[in-house]
Amino acid sequence: MVFSSLFNNAQQLRHQSAYKIASAILTESSQPQPFDFGPRFSLHYVSRWLSPFLVLNLFLASVGLAEDAGNLYNTTFDINAGRSYFEKQCSRCHGFDARGNDEVGAPNLTGPLTRASSSAGIYTILREGIAGTAMMAVDPEVPDSQLWQLAAYIESLSRESADIAVRGSVEVGKALFNDVGECLDCHMLNGKGGRLGPDLSNIGSELSPDELGLALIDPSAKVEPRWWSLTLEDKNGMSRSGLRMNEDSFSVRIMDTDSQLWSYPRSALRRVVRSEESTMPSYAARFNDTQIDDLVAFLYSLRPEATP
Ligand code: HEC
Ligand code: HEC
């Protein structure tokens, strides 16, 4: 529809311009003043012959370069519309808070994205999907405006987390993190550390300072399924617990505190007890408020836009 009317328009313009050029030449050449030919003729000629092309070019440019115009659907209204659409259509994989879901491999969308760095890039992903993955193109019936609203919502998620003033000291926080906090026993930071907790290399773009504080004081307030743990008891009464790595109808896999993997066929197990509590200790009693602020300042600095 859009394309055929564009095509008709272009044809019409081409016809018009051909007609205008012909008539321009005709009218000018029938003027009986050969010496007064110069500036008047050329200006007149140029404007007549170029204007339809200019209009056509601007028109085509505005269609073809839509991506360069940025997202025009980024008011608060659009962002809210994008959020409600997201909750209906996308949250089953990416989560209500858009922080992703390890089980289905849907990435966190609240920090910098891997495959897009602008609204236009997000728009393209939504229109085309990501081949060979669960990320499919949205229904072609969904209008462009709605996709731009979704893109605006996703962009707003990473902008919200940036540049919030924090109270603590990044330097002191860093020292606590590396030393007395023993955070690296469980967490990976830029390739170093343990695997008993999430990689924190980019945590500042995923959580706000408030959320970071809560993660330290009350780790169990929110625990992704990836970090649930299981206690297994086999038919001889032996039990073992660890992080839940994988569970299906035939087997269960866990990782113990020494990062050892254990796999059991379900048929060998008498009991499987699942805990949705965090295995991270609370730091509410170990650190005072100032130290928690310092840790938050350090964690919040762990985001690409904060590194100079
Ligand atoms: C069936 C599950 C599923 C649904 C539903 C889904 N996604 Fe995805 N999405 C994925 C997966 C899996 C990936 C990662 C693909 C890859 O890169 O391997 C992904 C990737 C993305 C990416 C790229 C992320 C990056 O870091 O570059 C964006 C943006 C995205 N999805 C947005 C959406 C939006 C918006 C919706 C709703 C219209 C949606 N997704 C619905 C599974 C899903
Ligand atoms: C015994 C292992 C362990 C230690 C020690 C530990 N953590 Fe954790 N941490 C975890 C686990 C497991 C999770 C994921 C479950 C949850 O959200 O609590 C986690 C979650 C987090 C999160 C939230 C991450 C997210 O993506 O939501 C932050 C922030 C964090 N830890 C910071 C720290 C800091 C800072 C220290 C040191 C002061 C620390 N942790 C010490 C295991 C640990």
pLDDT in tens, 113-160: 888 878 888 999 999 999 999 999 999 999 999 999 999 999 888 755
What per-residue confidence (pLDDT) applies to 112?
81
Q: Which of 95, 300, 120 is nearest to 210 (CA)?
A: 300
Enter the pTM of the model: 0.56
Whole-number percent of the chain with pLDDT over 90: 51
- H or E segment at 273? strand 269-275
Could you say which ligand is closest to the alpha carbon of residue 184? 2
CA of 115 to the centre of ligand 1 (A): 10
What is the rounded distance in angstroms from the CA atom of residue 2 to the CA atom of residue 140?
14
* Residue 24 predicted with pLDDT over 50: no
Could you say which ligand is closest to the alpha carbon of residue 126? 1
Whole-number percent of the chain with pLDDT over 70: 74
* Residue 302 predicted with pLDDT over 50: yes
Residue 112 Cα: closest atom of ligand 1? 26
CA of 61 to the centre of ligand 1 (A): 30
CB burial string 242-267: b at 16+ within 10 A, e below: bbbeebeeeebbbbeeeeeeeebeee
- Half-sphere exposure for 26 (CA within 13 Å, toward CB): 6
Closest C-alpha to ligand 1, atom 33 = 90
Query: Mean pLDDT, to the nearest integer, of 249-277?
Result: 92
User: How is residue 201 annotated by DSSP?
Assistant: T
* Look-up of token digits 């007609």: 19
Query: Mean pLDDT, to the nearest integer, of 264-291?
Result: 94
Closest C-alpha to ligand 2, atom 12 = 197
What is the rounded distance in angstroms from the CA atom of residue 182 to the CA atom of residue 176?
8
> Residue 117 burial by CB count (10 A; 0-12/13-18/19+): exposed, middle or buried?
exposed
CA of 157 to the centre of ligand 2 (A): 22
Indicate whether residue 188 lines ligand 2 (CB < 6 A).
no
CA of 51 to the centre of ligand 2 (A): 64
Instruction: Confirm if 183 and 299 have CB atoms less than 8 A apart.
Output: no
What is the rounded distance in angstroms from the CA atom of residue 267 to the CA atom of residue 9?
71
The answer to whether domain 76-161 and domain 170-222+281-306 are alike in fold is yes
CA of 280 to the centre of ligand 2 (A): 5
Residue 14: which pLDDT band, with cuts at 50, 70 and 90?
Answer: very low
What is the rounded distance in angstroms from the CA atom of residue 288 to the CA atom of residue 270?
43
Cα of first residue to Cα of last residue in the chain, in angstroms, is 48
- Half-sphere exposure for 31 (CA within 13 Å, toward CB): 14
Q: Which residue has the higher pLDDT, 303 or 307?
A: 303
Closest C-alpha to ligand 2, atom 18 = 219
Indicate whether residue 135 lines ligand 1 (CB < 6 A).
yes
Indicate whether residue 134 lines ligand 1 (CB < 6 A).
yes
pLDDT by residue (tens digit) across 192-229? 999 899 999 989 878 889 899 999 999 999 888 889 99
Closest C-alpha to ligand 2, atom 22 = 215
Indicate whether residue 197 lines ligand 2 (CB < 6 A).
yes
* Look-up of token digits 């690409």: 304
Instruction: Confirm if 280 and 287 have CB atoms less than 8 A apart.
Output: no
* Superfamily name and number for 76-161: Cytochrome c-like domain (1.10.760.10)
What is the rounded distance in angstroms from the CA atom of residue 298 to the CA atom of residue 300?
5
Query: Mean pLDDT, to the nearest integer, of 261-269?
Result: 93
CA of 83 to the centre of ligand 2 (A): 28
3 state SS of 181 = coil
| Domain segments of the chain as ranges | 2-64, 76-161, 170-222+281-306, 229-275
CA of 303 to the centre of ligand 1 (A): 21
What per-residue confidence (pLDDT) applies to 83?
94
* Residue 38 predicted with pLDDT over 50: no
Could you say which ligand is closest to the alpha carbon of residue 138? 1
Residue 248: which pLDDT band, with cuts at 50, 70 and 90?
Answer: confident
Instruction: Confirm if 217 and 237 have CB atoms less than 8 A apart.
Output: no
What per-residue confidence (pLDDT) applies to 29?
38
| Rounded-to-5 percentages of helix, strand, coil across the chain | 50, 10, 35
Mean pLDDT rounded to a whole number for the chain: 79
What CATH number has the domain spanning 229-275? 2.30.30.100
What per-residue confidence (pLDDT) applies to 196?
92
Q: Which residue has the higher pLDDT, 36 or 81?
A: 81
Could you say which ligand is closest to the alpha carbon of residue 102? 1
Q: Which of 93, 145, 146 has most ligand 1 atoms within 8 Å of CB, for mutation?
A: 93
* Look-up of token digits 């299981």: 230
What is the rounded distance in angstroms from the CA atom of residue 246 to the CA atom of residue 135?
22
Instruction: Confirm if 93 and 188 have CB atoms less than 8 A apart.
Output: no
What CATH number has the domain spanning 170-222+281-306? 1.10.760.10
Instruction: Confirm if 71 and 148 have CB atoms less than 8 A apart.
Output: yes
